[in-house]
Amino acid sequence: MKKYYKKVKDKYNKKPKTEEEYNSQTPNITNKTVSEHREEVLSSARKYIYPLQHSKHKIVLITTSLFILSILVFFSYTMISLYKLKSYSSFLYGVSKVLPLPVAKAGSDFVAYENYLFELKHYIHYYENQQKLDFKVESGQQQLAEFKKRALDKVVNDAYIKRLAKENNVTVSNQEVEAEIEVVRDQNRLGGSDKVFEDVLKEYWGWSVDDFKRSLRQQLLAQKLLPVLDPSVQEQADKAKQELDNGAKFADVAKKYSNDASTKNNGGEYGYAIDKSNRDISAKTTSALFELKKGEVSDVINAGYSLEIVKNIQPEGDKIKAAHIAFNYKDINSYLNDYKDKNKTTLYIHLQ
């Protein structure tokens, strides 16, 4: 105990260092020695910096590895879901809009998986919401399988149509799409206002207005291509029109040329009066008919998948008693057979 108190006493009774003693223990930094001292200080700090840099490198490496792994997992999930399970979920539909994944190859042109899902989902939406079809039951599963096949066939044929249209310089402008919509809207077939139009599209097909325009553009492209693929239909219609202009009776010309078996032997007369919203007749045909006066005959009308000549027999209030001569094109897909033989189709999904 005496030794402890002696040490404490000696510590506090110790004389302070003189200036000379202090200076002798403090490093003397000059212009010549400054670099040495700087290196000494830096070397002392490096033992803290190096571990930090090493940790940062590990974090970057781990983060990059996790990111790559996530991408691989995402792509694996997407490939399995689309090509093996053939899923059509909204998430995968969104993915297909971003990633240019093919569902088939039409000749040398790839067919986007997104095109297939676009067609399939509007079939499903309509039958689920309007026909109340349950796709979980066996009959619904069978119907779904048919929808899938129909959607795949359509998008493949659409690809051939686009290619043929390009080869024949056939195009559809934005103005033509808008004009087609206006014809139908004028007859109140798509609702009386923009809001009703949008609601009808969403309710029946799950479509936006842009989706509808997209589908309509493809339809118009096929219609414009038909006269190029089969000019004989236009030739027949022109002959019939010429005979009418030369004084031939409408009933006789209808019997001679019309492809409508239900009306050709009855003077071409429809069995009912026509109103502007009649969905059994093309909007263009109805539009042309309501521009005619009693007894007048129209020019050749391009009704889309057929050509028509119509006659206003007798107005009946807001309806018209009328007759027509129809010149039908074959289904456009029948024109594609030879083209498909030369440009083979490869499917990347196989539907049972």
Same-domain status, 306 and 193: no
* pLDDT tens digit sequence for 49-63: 555 555 667 777 888
**If you search the block for the tokens 């030739």, which residue do you land on?**
235
Same-domain status, 123 and 215: yes
Establish if 74 belongs to a structural domain: yes
Establish if 340 belongs to a structural domain: no
- Distances, alpha carbon 345 to alpha carbons 160, 164, 188, 252, 327, in Å: 10, 15, 41, 46, 31
Same-domain status, 129 and 70: no
pLDDT at 6: 52
Q: Tokens for 322?
A: 């009328």
* CA distance linking residue 72 with residue 49, whole number of Å: 35
Is residue 186 very low, low, confident or very high in pLDDT (cuts 50, 70, 90)? Answer: confident
pLDDT reading at 259 higher than 90: yes
Establish if 151 belongs to a structural domain: yes
What CATH number is associated with residue 275? 3.10.50
Establish if 341 belongs to a structural domain: no
Spatial CA neighbour of 327 closest among 264, 279, 252, 278: 264
What's the mean pLDDT in 143-153? 94
Is residue 22 very low, low, confident or very high in pLDDT (cuts 50, 70, 90)? Answer: very low
Same-domain status, 139 and 254: no
Long-range pairs for 113-117: beta carbons < 8 A, 24 or more residues apart? 113/82, 115/155, 115/158, 116/151, 116/152, 116/155, 117/88, 117/92, 117/93
Domain ends where: 61, 85, 109?
85
pLDDT reading at 240 higher than 60: yes
**If you search the block for the tokens 């059509």, which residue do you land on?**
88
pLDDT reading at 8 higher than 50: no
Is residue 222 very low, low, confident or very high in pLDDT (cuts 50, 70, 90)? Answer: very high
Same-domain status, 108 and 70: no
Domain ends where: 229, 255, 271?
229
What CATH number is associated with residue 221? 1.10.4030.10
Establish if 225 belongs to a structural domain: yes
* pLDDT tens digit sequence for 286-295: 999 999 999 9
pLDDT reading at 198 higher than 50: yes
Same-domain status, 25 and 153: no
Same-domain status, 4 and 42: yes
Structural domain of residue 220, as residue ranges? 90-229
pLDDT reading at 5 higher than 50: no
Same-domain status, 155 and 247: no
What's the mean pLDDT in 127-135? 90
Establish if 344 belongs to a structural domain: no
- What's the one-letter identity of residue 205? W
What's the mean pLDDT in 113-137? 93
- Distances, alpha carbon 231 to alpha carbons 144, 151, 174, 226, 228, in Å: 37, 29, 25, 8, 6
What's the mean pLDDT in 272-290? 88
* pLDDT tens digit sequence for 89-106: 999 999 999 999 999 999
Same-domain status, 80 and 94: no
The number of distinct structural domains making up the chain is 3
User: Whole-model pTM?
Assistant: 0.77
Between 119-128, 182-191, 196-205, 225-234, the lowest mean confidence (pLDDT) is in: 182-191
Domain ends where: 85, 108, 128?
85
pLDDT at 24: 52
Phi-psi region of 77 (alpha: psi -120 to 50; beta: other; left: phi over 0): alpha
Establish if 339 belongs to a structural domain: no
Same-domain status, 97 and 211: yes
pLDDT at 331: 87
Same-domain status, 255 and 310: yes
Establish if 351 belongs to a structural domain: no
Q: Give the 3-state secondary structure of the chain.
A: CHHHHHHHHHHHCCCCCCHHHHHHHCCCCCCCCHHHHHHHHHHHHHHHHHHHHHHHHHHHHHHHHHHHHHHHHHHHHHHHHHHHCCCCCHHHHHHHHHCCCEEEEECCEEEEHHHHHHHHHHHHHHHHHCCCCCCCCHHHHHHHHHHHHHHHHHHHHHHHHHHHHHHCCCCCCHHHHHHHHHHHHHCCCCCCCHHHHHHHHHHHHCCCHHHHHHHHHHHHHHHHHHHHHCCHHHHHHHHHHHHHHCCCCHHHHHHHHCCCCCCHHHCCECCCCECCCCCCCCHHHHHHHCCCCCCCECCCEECCCEEEEEEEEEEECCEEEEEEEEEECCCHHHHCHHHHHHCCEEECCCCC
* CA distance linking residue 28 with residue 30, whole number of Å: 6
Q: How many residues does the chain have?
A: 352
Q: How many CA atoms lie within 13 A of 110 on its CB side?
A: 8
Average pLDDT of the chain is 86
Same-domain status, 97 and 54: no
